[in-house]
Amino acid sequence: MTLDFLKTETASGVILASAALLALLLANSPWADSYFAFIRHEIPIQIGAFHEVKPVDRWIKDGLMAIFFFVVGLEIKHEILRGELSSPRRLALPVLAAIGGIVTPSAVYLLINAGSAGSPQGWPTPVATDIAFALAALAMAGPRLPASLRIFLLTLAIADDLGAVALIAILFTSDVNLYALGGAAASIGLMALMSQWKSAPYLFYAACFALAWAFCLKSGVNTSLAGVAAAMTVPIEPRKPGHEGPLKHFMESLHPYVAYLILPLFAFAAAGFSFAGLSLSTLLSPIPLGVALGLFLGKQLGVFGFSALAIWLKLARRPTGAKWLELYGVSLLCGIGFTMSLFIGGLAFDPHDGLAQTQVRMGVITGSILSTLAGMAVLAYAQRLRGDEV
């Protein structure tokens, strides 16, 4: 399943990049008005007593992205129970590297935004790694490098996602409607009870997840948490000997839709911004500079620094067959924070503050591009060195 996951994520990275580029081109073209009219077009949804009106970009973020976080939750649960996160020896390096990749970028952002003109609330923006982009860049730059590097990057990014979800839960929940939150908890509890019913129809899981999402949306709690919480209730054990379990079934069924449809749609809606009225001084203002340097400098320093320290202290081992230069190249790729950074950055600032939202996008895209180019250059050079040694 890991190999299929890697292949899907690698292909998804190319589509994500294309969707983001298309959004930027449209936002700065004669069709800009049509692009912004589309993502801001309000759509009402009413099912019984449930009624909400949101623009397209908010439905993607609050609706479709909940399915993305459901799949992320399934991946985290699988890795904890059966995958790389289940082995303490294999777990140590990527988890410690992920901690460094959260702490250091946050510190870089806060350092740049420490003054009176800064915006310290944006510090969580550069903490996450985009799995799809990073794996795609690694596959293109170093296809013949040790497979252990890909597993290290995948495990680190999943641990990163877990940290990002925790930050969303802690930082971006306010004005909670306790009745709606109770409804969401009851729906998740019902899903947990269904895990004891071996022949429970999959449609029941979908109905309970939809209920949990709807209550969560009304509660004021970010819907991403409904996705992750629901995923934790899905049983991993097969219903019958020789068959796949519900968790694997949902992962394999939903992952292609998330990788090839939901994430590209999110990238298309979230990445587009107009260059009109922007200048180099705008890019060098605290928010975009903090995000860009947090991703580009903070990520590589945190991931590589914590990895080197863990290896030096004999708390962990280098990925099998990998060299220090290759580990550094992968650390650079961890600065590709595209999807999750855009998502968290959108939460960190007032959605009606157009300038701040644009600056977040500028910082995320700049930091991610720098990390991609530098990481691919280092890994391509490392692969060439391996060829020269043969």
Q: Give pLDDT tens digits for 165-186.
A: 788 877 876 677 888 889 999 9
Question: Which pLDDT does position 381 carry in this prediction?
Answer: 93
Q: Which helix (H) or strand (E) holds 237?
A: none
How large is the average pLDDT for residues 131-151? 82
Give the residue, 258 or 303, on which the prediction is more confident.
303
Q: Which two tokens stand for residue 262?
A: 């939901």
Answer whether residue 337 shows pLDDT above 90: no
pLDDT class for 136, splitting at 50, 70, 90? confident
Asked if 122 and 364 count as a contact pair (C-beta separation under 8 A), the reply is no
CA atoms of 124 and 244, how far apart (whole Å):
37
Question: Which pLDDT does position 7 carry in this prediction?
Answer: 53
How large is the average pLDDT for residues 285-301? 95
Give the chain's mean pLDDT.
Answer: 85
Give the residue, 88 or 253, on which the prediction is more confident.
253
161 Cβ contact partners less than 8 Å away, ≥ 6 residues apart: 72, 75, 76, 128, 131, 340
CA atoms of 359 and 285, how far apart (whole Å):
8
pLDDT class for 353, splitting at 50, 70, 90? confident
Question: Which pLDDT does position 284 carry in this prediction?
Answer: 84
pLDDT class for 84, splitting at 50, 70, 90? low
Give the residue, 13 or 44, on which the prediction is more confident.
44
pLDDT class for 86, splitting at 50, 70, 90? low
Question: Which pLDDT does position 291 carry in this prediction?
Answer: 95
Question: Which pLDDT does position 374 carry in this prediction?
Answer: 95
**Picking from 70-84, 210-224, 360-374, which range would have the lowest pLDDT averaged per residue?**
70-84
pLDDT class for 281, splitting at 50, 70, 90? confident
Question: Which pLDDT does position 1 carry in this prediction?
Answer: 47
Question: Which pLDDT does position 2 carry in this prediction?
Answer: 47
Question: Which pLDDT does position 379 carry in this prediction?
Answer: 93
Cβ contacts of 192-200, under 8 Å, gap ≥ 24: 192/233, 194/233, 195/233, 195/234, 195/235, 195/246, 198/239, 199/239
